[in-house]
Chains A and B, each alone.
Chain A
Amino acid sequence: MSTTEHSAQSSTGQRPDVGPDSNNGSPPPLADARQHDEGTLEQSKELRPPLPARPDLMERGQTAGAGSLRLSKRAARPQLQSQATTALSLADVHTADRLESGDLKSSPASRAVSRKPSFAYSLRHASTAASEVDDGASVRSDMPAAGSRLDGESMLGDLIEGASTPAFKALSAQIERADPFDGTLAEDDILSTQMQYELHDVASVDADGTNEEALLKIWKAKLKHFFILSASGKPIYSRHGDDQLISHYIGVVQTLISFYQGANDPLKGFTAGDARFVLLSKGPLNLVAVSRLGESDAQLRTQLESLYMQILSTLTLPSLERMFSYRPSTDLRRPLEGTDVLLDGLADGFTRGSPSTLLSALECLRLRKSHRRVVDETLLKVRSSNLLYGLIVAAGRLVSVVRPKKHSLHPGDLHLIFNMLFEAGSVKAGGGENWIPLCLPGFNNTGFLYMYVSFFSTSEDVHSPEAERPSSGGKDDELAIVLISANKDSFFELRQMREDLVIQLEKNGSMAVIKTAIRKGHASCADITPGTVLKHFLYKSRGNVQFTMPSFEPHFHGLVARRKLMSLYHNLHESIHSRTSHLKVQHTIAYDSTALAWETPLFELYCVASSNASRAALVQGANKVVSWIRREEERVFIIGGAVF
């Protein structure tokens, strides 16, 4: 197997390219195929009605072929199990600072991670990826292979052997207790140096413009920008910088966009230096994301879609289109006045890294199945006739949902609601109750719904109407009741429902249960998968469009460590979702972390451990997560919910 070193430059911007040799590998052995496990997983999939819509799953129908890759559950000597037709593609390595690069092999076959124009550390990932052969017929076959060992397998064996050389062990020993990303060198890592300032606002340009140069410097140092402009080039929104500061740049963007539009070949994205530009055109609006955080085009586009949905949520699609068809030069900032905080909340969430947006899924509060059933039943009991959706939301996580049978909830809509409640301070800070007209574009982008919101602070034990106003505390102890109706006059009706609901929940003890669960927070990774090397994971149940994860603490403390973790997740996510990669399992090694992504039709799992963790240990951890989920499925996910 040839070893190829890629410089950061040469791989920048290249699309992943599953080379022909990765498809031609002979089938790997299936000595340990877990037919039984797969059967149970498939069964549970059939029994479970989906909660929200799942466009993602539909689109990705080509991945059907349940569990075509299996990880052995055998702890002693786990290895990647794959199907007859699945070949392991080969590792791709870039110089690692603290590992002898000679230990690692690389090939051009899989550049899933390294192709991105991202900052230094992600370029140092070595990836060993199992990719699915592009052969539709055989994907479905579940026949155990009597195949021989894949050529690549022995290469992987080398890698593990290499990892156990005395030199490696000596190095590993030094970082034994280190958390992932602890050893990052600051000087070559713009993220570490810039991230702490990233969310600070850029001041306004003085009347005489004397501070413009200094502000531009701050502005240009931002790792991420979002711009929204009208088709005629009027600025509508920018995360950073006021109009005076950004007007030139908006002009440049507009010129670029219209140049390519003129040629009937709309510009979708480009790379300049270390920044990736992604453009999204939506009717009368153009949205632009500029990122040095290493997300893929598809991921940045999802973020832009979310900003666009926020605008629709404020205006509705017909009214947006009417404004621009009436007057193409409309200044949209006026009708959007006051919603900057919502767009900022979304944008900053993306900059910090939002698992929910990355996975297009929701997170639920972990509750015992019986407790959740009581809450659901209470919701159904007190439901008022004008209610469309009812949600109980705790600290950004869903506790329970009541909805009509024929309408599911779109994760994007819920994300907008959560953003409004928990990121933008105004609803919370207002105290008391709010009545908010909003459009949920995933539900219906042509009209408004009306949302009743009431916040509770869970630190108070006694509920009384006068004492429910939350102090401006952290978002971890906040409980919101959200009741949505199509009838704009139903405020007092929904308020009554809230009263009844709270009384009932107090009476049957559910309120205490919910408050305890909120105060407990996320379980730590060590509690969920004791004895494994895992430091963090994301598990998305595709059927439920929900995800679960452990706490970031104690291993990922602070903005920088979390952003690095999220960047790693973004890379893993992209490597298995990229249209050309067809990966099922991806294992990456970097000098500061190791990670595993594993996709089946039922779930996506992303695991992270520190750099000295072996692949076997990582796989063992992944299997522990999966069996934990299987045990806890009805606790960590809302399955069905309260439906009327």
Chain B
Amino acid sequence: MASRVQQGGRPGGARFAQFKLVLLGESAVGKSSLVLRFVKDQFDDYRESTIGAAFLTQTIALDEQTTVKFEIWDTAGQERYKSLAPMYYRNANCAVVVYDITQASSLDKAKSWVKELQRQANENIVIALAGNKADLVAEQPDKRAVPTADAEAYARESGLLFFETSAKTAENVKELFTAIAKKLPIEQASQRGMRGPAGRAAGVDLGTRQESGNTAGGAGGCNC
């Protein structure tokens, strides 16, 4: 779907940029479901916990000229994986911090992720806050544990994009990722990115570029 647009849009002066995105948040708030909806436009009612982290890609077209490719790290939310998180966010361009609008504690966890990202991740990282499981509240309003206004106010204060989403109904999922893409420095990145598609055969450039990025990020991490 979106990937077809990419192929059509690539030749002839189009802009193409590639960004690293990381999903963070407490376990069982729906990170993987959001990604599954975004990448494959699917939803599983029953989904097992992510083990470790999953790496996926998805390309979206912002307009006829501009395509953005996300390289997505969907991390596992369990406490024991916490020490591995820097590996995924340290050279990320953008992050989606997810909480569950029916679980107040999951917003606290989201806030601590935001704090960690602002302290330790890329200086210019674009962070979006996503209150997931909006469908549950649409059915039964008394299930809501986090008022929209509270989360919105917090997001504004902290300079975050904010959406209430439902991976199940697809509500605001595309909007969320599109808003992130619009906020990213596409001009800058697409010049960088132009080298990418040129040497893209078999994706050889991908690994090497990422690798050098990792080392640089690692050095930055140590300073903190």
Binary flags per residue of B36-68, CB closer than 8 Å to A gives 1, else 0: 100110001001111111111100000000000
Of the candidate stretches A69-77, A239-247, A330-338, the one touching chain B is A330-338
- In the complex, which residues of chain A have a beta carbon less than 8 angstroms from the beta carbon of B78? 337-338
In the assembled complex, B122 has its CB within 8 A of some CB on chain A: no
Q: Is B79 among interface residues, defined by CB-CB distance under 8 A?
A: yes
- The reply to whether B210 and A492 form a contact with Cβ atoms under 8 Å apart is yes
Give complex CA distance A436, B55 in Å: 11
Does chain A have a CB within 8 A of B207? Answer: yes
Which stretch from B137-145, B163-171, B198-206 is at the chain A interface? Answer: B198-206
Cross-interface CB contact of B56 among A426, A432, A488, cutoff 8 Å? A432
Please name the residue on chain A nearest to B72 by beta carbon: A432
User: Which residues of the partner chain B approach A493 to less than 8 Å between Cβ atoms?
Assistant: 207, 211
Stretch at the interface among B80-88, B96-104, B124-132, B177-185: B80-88
Q: Is B3 an interface residue (CB 8 A)?
A: yes
Contact B39 A426 (CB under 8 A): no
Which A residues, 467 to 495, have Cβ-Cβ distances below 8 Å to chain B?
Answer: 469, 488-489, 491-493, 495
Q: A489-B214, A492-B207, A499-B203 are in contact. Are A427 and B49 (CB under 8 A)?
A: no
Q: How far is the CA of A338 from the CA of B203 in the complex (A)?
A: 33
Known contacts A437-B81, A492-B211; A430 and B87 CB within 8 A of each other: no
State the CA gap A257–B123 with chains docked (Å): 56
Smallest Cβ distance from A383 to chain B, in angstroms? 15
Residues B40 and A431 in contact, CB atoms below 8 Å apart: yes
Q: How far is the CA of A469 from the CA of B56 in the complex (A)?
A: 10
A-facing residues in B167-223 (Cβ within 8 Å): 202-204, 206-208, 210-211, 214, 218
Of chain B, the residue at the smallest CB distance from A496 is: B207
Instruction: List A contacts of B32 (CB < 8 A).
Output: 430
Q: Any chain B CB within 8 A of the CB of A503?
A: yes
Cβ distance A207 to chain B, nearest Cβ, rounded Å: 16
Q: Does A429 count as interface, using CB distance less than 8 angstroms? A: yes
Q: Is the CB of A424 within 8 A of B214?
A: no
Question: Nearest Cβ in chain A — how far from B114, in angstroms?
Answer: 22
The reply to whether A499 and B207 form a contact with Cβ atoms under 8 Å apart is: yes
Q: Is the CB of B39 within 8 A of A431?
A: yes
| Total chain A interface residues with beta-carbon distance under 8 A | 37
Nearest B residue to A420, CB-CB:
B51
Give Cα A499 to B218, complex, Å.
25
Q: Would you call A435 an interface residue if the criterion is a C-beta within 8 Å of the partner chain's C-beta atoms?
A: yes
Residues on B with C-beta less than 8 A from A427 are: 51
A336 to B42, CA, bound (A): 28
Decide yes or no: A437 and B84 within 8 Å by CB, A466-B3, A496-B204 being known contacts.
yes
Chain B residues, Cβ within 8 Å of A342: 51
Contact A488 B55 (CB under 8 A): no
Query: CB distance B214 to A426 under 8 Å?
Result: no
Find A338's partner among B36, B76, B211 (CB 8 Å cutoff).
B76
Whether a CB of chain A sits under 8 angstroms from the CB of B18 is no
Identify B55's interface contact among A315, A434, A437, A496, CB under 8 A: A434
Contacts of B53 in A (CB 8 A): 434-436
Contact assessment for B204 and A338 in the assembled complex, using a CB-CB cutoff below 8 Å = no
The chain A residue sitting closest to B211, CB to CB, is: A492
Interface centre among A342, A430, A451, A492 (most CB of B within 10 A): A430
Knowing A492-B210, A493-B207 are in contact, say whether A341-B49 is a contact too (CB < 8 A).
Answer: yes
Cβ-defined contact, B50 with A430, below 8 A: yes
Cα of A488 to Cα of B57 in the assembled complex, Å: 21
Q: Is there an interface contact between B207 and A488, defined as CB atoms closer than 8 Å?
A: no
Q: A430-B74, A499-B202 are in contact. Are A338 and B49 (CB under 8 A)?
A: yes
Contact with B along A511-547 (1 / 0, CB 8 A): 0000000000000000000000000000000000000
The answer, yes or no, to whether A55 is at the interface (CB within 8 Å) is: no
- The answer to whether the Cβ of A299 comes within 8 Å of any Cβ in the partner chain is no
Q: Is the CB of A337 within 8 A of B27?
A: yes
Q: Is the CB of B79 within 8 A of A437?
A: no
Min distance, Cβ A480 to any Cβ of chain B, angstroms: 14
Given contacts A335-B80, A466-B3, contact A432 B87 (CB under 8 A): no
Name which residue of chain A comes closest to B75, CB basis: A435
Chain A residue numbers with a CB within 8 Å of B76 are: 338
A68 at interface by CB-CB < 8 Å: no
Whole-angstrom distance between the Cβ of A5 and the nearest chain B Cβ: 51
B48 touching A426, Cβ below 8 Å: yes
* 22 sampled A-B residue pairs with Cβ under 8 A: A335-B79, A335-B80, A337-B78, A338-B48, A338-B51, A341-B48, A426-B47, A426-B48, A430-B32, A430-B74, A431-B40, A432-B56, A435-B55, A436-B51, A436-B53, A437-B84, A438-B52, A465-B57, A469-B40, A492-B206, A492-B207, A495-B206
Sorted nearest first, the 4 A-B pairs with minimum C-beta distance are A436-B52, A338-B49, A496-B207, A426-B48
